[in-house]
A and B are shown apart, each in its own frame.
Chain A
Amino acid sequence: EDQVTQSPEALRLQEGESSSLNCSYTVSGLRGLFWYRQDPGKGPEFLFTLYSAGEEKEKERLKATLTKKESFLHITAPKPEDSATYLCAVQAAAAGNMLTFGGGTRLMVKP
């Protein structure tokens, strides 16, 4: 069974304090690993898709990396507006198009 575990569950940072969020996964044949941002009361907002180990993608203060067992979302010099829940999901080659989500990391950035 495909599994996704995100850590930590919650993370408090001061503005400007860089950190990383972890997403560990077990999947039978990874087709893609997805990162989303979700604000309270809103739907998930697509950030990145990573396809193979060693791949990296960046968007503003966010950088996502992928290994064979985990993915990291690095946040450089975060701002209060980066506060949100970050979701990781995997798509298995044998599972059609469904995404298996982790529980998310709730990030709070204080000014």
Chain B
Amino acid sequence: NAGVMQNPRHLVRRRGQEARLRCSPMKGHSHVYWYRQLPEEGLKFMVYLQKENIIDESGMPKERFSAEFPKEGPSILRIQQVVRGDSAAYFCASSPRWENTEAFFGQGTRLTVV
């Protein structure tokens, strides 16, 4: 049973470009969460999605950031017009049910904006 798969593991973008981060949840999991870990800071919640629905995006910056979890395919976190402050590790977690008693994390995507 494969774990949560994130790709790419490392992503380098120039300022102003777009970054697309992908997350495939564990088999049987239909709930996906995105977190961001800035250098020397803790993990911060960004968004919670179920298939085709955004449930909670209270941690998502209002501009340039968007997330989706289509009926088919992985969840995508999209960052438009990246800036240096977007450099961070982005982690995806998934759980099998709403209660989220065990959220399993992927290995993360490390975004570097140059």
Residue numbers of A with Cβ under 8 A of B are 32, 34, 36, 41-46, 49, 87, 89, 91, 96-104
Check A98 against B105 for contact (C-beta < 8 Å): no
Q: Distance (Å) between the CB of B23 and the closest chain A CB?
A: 11
Query: Which stretch from B11-19, B39-47, B63-71 is at the chain A interface?
Result: B39-47
Q: A87-B43, A91-B100, A104-B42 are in contact. Are A98 and B58 (CB under 8 A)?
A: yes
**Is residue B56 within 8 Å, beta carbon to beta carbon, of the partner chain?**
yes
Task: Report the separation of the CA atoms of residues A100 and B100 in the bound assembly, to the nearest whole angstrom.
Answer: 13
Residues of A within 8 A of B99 (CB): 97
**Is residue B73 within 8 Å, beta carbon to beta carbon, of the partner chain?**
no
Task: Report the separation of the CA atoms of residues A50 and B30 in the bound assembly, to the nearest whole angstrom.
Answer: 23
Check A96 against B48 for contact (C-beta < 8 Å): yes
Residues of B within 8 A of A41 (CB): 110
Cβ contact of A43, chosen from B41, B42, B59, B108, cutoff 8 A: B108
Check A97 against B33 for contact (C-beta < 8 Å): yes
Check B45 against A98 for contact (C-beta < 8 Å): yes
Check A103 against B42 for contact (C-beta < 8 Å): yes
Q: Which 10 A-B pairs have the closest CB atoms?
A: A43-B105, A98-B45, A97-B100, A101-B43, A101-B42, A44-B105, A43-B107, A103-B42, A96-B56, A43-B108
Q: How many residues of B contact A (CB 8 A)?
A: 29
Q: Distance (Å) between the CB of B97 and the closest chain A CB?
A: 10
Residues of B within 8 A of A98 (CB): 33, 45, 48, 56, 58-59
Kindly identify, within residues 66 to 114 of chain B, every residue whose CB is under 8 Å from any CB belonging to chain A.
91, 95, 98-108, 110
**Is residue B31 within 8 Å, beta carbon to beta carbon, of the partner chain?**
yes
Kindly identify, within residues 24 to 60 of chain B, every residue whose CB is under 8 Å from any CB belonging to chain A.
31, 33, 35, 41-45, 48, 55-56, 58-59
Task: Report the separation of the CA atoms of residues A32 and B4 in the bound assembly, to the nearest whole angstrom.
Answer: 22
Task: Report the separation of the CA atoms of residues A32 and B98 in the bound assembly, to the nearest whole angstrom.
Answer: 13
Residues of B within 8 A of A32 (CB): 100-101
Q: A96-B56, A98-B33, A98-B58 are in contact. Are A45 and B44 (CB under 8 A)?
A: no
Give 5 A-B pairs besides A32-B100, A103-B42 with Cβ atoms closer than 8 angstroms.
Answer: A41-B110, A44-B91, A46-B102, A97-B98, A101-B42
